[in-house]
Structure 1
Amino acid sequence: MTPVFSTSFFQTLQEMTHVSTESELFKHLKSAIHYLEFDYYAYGLCIASPVTRPTFTLRNNYPEQWQHRYEKNQYIHIDPTVAHGLQSTRPLAWSGQKKRSKKAFWQEAEAYGLKSGWAQSALLKPGATGMLTVATNDQSPLSQAKQLHLLSLSNTFQSVYGELVVPHKTTTHDVKLTKREKEILKWCADGKTSDEIAMILNVTKSTVSFHLANAVNKLGVCNKTAAAVKAIQYNLL
């Protein structure tokens, strides 16, 4: 990797930190992966609420036919890179020689030009996890220098994405619980009833109900259990 190559790449990362729109951010991402000799990128975001129906969004420049097959066949549930990203924030590099599991999936991906790549997930905000993936038609193993550049790209891109984009995709970024609401929700999370919480805090049951109703309303849920779960998910307690 030449010094000029590195200079152009890191200049792009620097510019990335000053963008003001999601479109600008992805424009710089496309430039950055080009400098690193990758053809494709994908960025997935998982919002963990509601618990039984987490929200997944994906933005990428993969071949359209592969995008269609991926969505139609719900490959997100078998994609080894996604499975890895949900379990670990350690980077994952793959090439034709190293893909031992889900061979049918990898063979199909290779047919669309996704022969090797790199991925890393990150906790962007409480309750929001993102994963950056880059891929290429070249099966050559990634050099250590290129993987270090990818780490810099991932850290910069995901940090900016978390600050710029995620707050607009969640409903809790501006929720402010009072000290009493937090206190009561913590006891709810421990399985205490409203009567028990009233006794513990030496207040009336109606006072507990009042604060719970406020918390439920702020969090946009339907009951105290859901409020406690969501508050924990988003690190509000």
Structure 2
Amino acid sequence: MELEKLLGDVQGLSYAYFAAPKNREVTPLIVSNYPSRWLKAYKNANYHLIDPIIHHGLKSCAPFAWSDALQACGNDKGLELFRRSSQYRICFGATFTLHDAGGMFSSLSLCDSGQQADFERRMADQQGQIQMALIRFHGRLLSLRTVDELFPESQNGPLSARELGVLKLVMMGKVYREIALMCAISERTVKFHMSNISEKLQVCNAKQAVYEAQRQGIL
């Protein structure tokens, strides 16, 4: 697989790539060589919603050890989930994160059932290579599919990817003419998007839409 090729010398470890748009209730994209029974249970039960590793990753820009995430976890369900994963020899590991400009969150988790000290030393020695593997794999996915294609149900969320992009530019102080040029669409289309945004957020104008989107955590 392409991810395994990108990992190069780090091959041999168990890995899990996770990606999802922020502030969207969608089924995440998971690419992993974890035991199939655990992956099936994880996906079917939407365990990502209580996973302490994912929760910690959403707030972190730097790589972290799973022990750090567990120490910060105040959710009994999350801790129980982690205890359950240990039955599949998913016990200790490290996670690398990526928060891209399009509002996507992705992470690459690596774990080993061997000696923890050896694993931590390996992560420290190869953290640059692992972070670049995550960046390149994430970029490769987005070069092949749009966010809406990867997460079709996200189109039923508060805002589509295009609407979110337009609203971000409004938040930056861009006028409709500038937004049209930057997005390669007509000014009329920009106004159409803003009308839909205002309707979805139940506000009257662009300024209120920005405020409401920030209040809801969309921006």
Do the two structures share a fold, i.e. TM-score over 0.5? yes
Shift in CA distance, 115/125, structure 1 to aligned 2, threshold 3 Å: same
Match of 1:135 among 97, 111, 121: 111
Q: Secondary structure at the match of 1:28?
A: helix
Cα offset, 1:154, TM superposition = 2.9
Query: Residues 154, 216 of structure 1: CA spacing in aligned structure 2 closer, same or farther, 3 A cutoff?
Result: farther
CA contact (8 A) 2:64 2:94 kept: yes
Q: 1:32 aligns with which of 9, 14, 23?
A: 9
The alpha carbon displacement at 1:67 in A equals 0.6
Which of 210, 216, 223 is the matching residue for 2:196?
223
Secondary structure at the counterpart of residue 40 of structure 2: helix
TM-score, structure 2 length as denominator?
A: 0.62
Aligned to 1:17: none
One-letter amino acid matched to 1:61: N
Distance across 1 between alignment mates of 2:94 and 2:15: 10
Question: So what's the TM-score if we normalise by structure 1?
Answer: 0.58
Question: How far does the alpha carbon of each residue in 1:184-203 deviate from its partner, in whole angstroms, 9 at most, with x for none?
Answer: x44999xxxxxxx99xx9xx
Kindly provide the amino acid, as one letter, of the partner of residue 86 in structure 2. Answer: E
Corresponding residue for 1:153? Answer: 129
Query: Is the contact between residue 95 and residue 109 of structure 2 (CA under 8 Å) also seen in structure 1?
Result: yes
- Contact 1:117/1:135 (8 A) holds in 2: yes
For 2:94 and 2:131, the matched residues in 1 are separated by 14
1:108–1:159 distance in 2 versus 1, CA, 3 Å? same
Q: Distance in 2 between matches of 1:176 and 1:116?
A: 38
Distance 1:166 1:103, change over 3 A: same
Aligned equivalents of 2:46 and 2:39: distance in 1?
10
Count, aligned residues: 177
1:161 CA drift (Å): 2.5
1:68 and 2:44 are equivalent in the alignment: no
What SS does the aligned partner of 1:223 have?
A: helix
**Counterpart contact for 2:65–2:95, Cα < 8 Å:** yes
Change (3 A) 1:107 1:130: same
1:83 aligned residue: 55
Alpha-carbon distance in 1 for matches of 2:131, 2:69: 25
Name the aligned partner's letter for residue 105 of structure 2.
Answer: T
Shift of 1:116: 1.3
* Change beyond 3 A, Cα 1:188–1:105: same
Q: Deviations over 1:29-79 (max 9, x none)?
A: 464332xx52x110011123xx45355211111101101111122210111
Which among 147, 154, 169 is matched to residue 170 of structure 1? Answer: 147
The answer to whether structure 1 residue 109 and structure 2 residue 85 are counterparts is yes
One-letter amino acid of the structure 2 residue matched with residue 32 of structure 1: D
Task: Report what 1:214 is aligned to.
Answer: 189
Query: In the aligned structure 2, how far is the partner of 1:159 from the partner of 1:87?
Result: 18
What SS class does the counterpart of residue 100 from structure 2 fall into?
strand
Which stretches in structure 1 are left out of the alignment for 5+ residues? 1-22, 190-196, 202-209
Deviation at residue 88 of structure 1 after TM alignment: 0.8
Distance change in 2, residues 1:108/1:139 (3 Å) = farther
User: What is the aligned counterpart of 1:121 among 92, 97, 104?
Assistant: 97
Identical aligned pairs, as a percentage?
Answer: 19
Change in 2 beyond 3 A, CA 1:89/1:215: same
Distance 1:127 1:182 in 2: 10
The structure where helix makes up a greater share of residues is: 2
SS at match of 2:110: strand
Which of 1 and 2 has greater Rg? 1
**Structure 2: gaps (5+ residues):** 149-160, 178-185, 201-205, 215-219
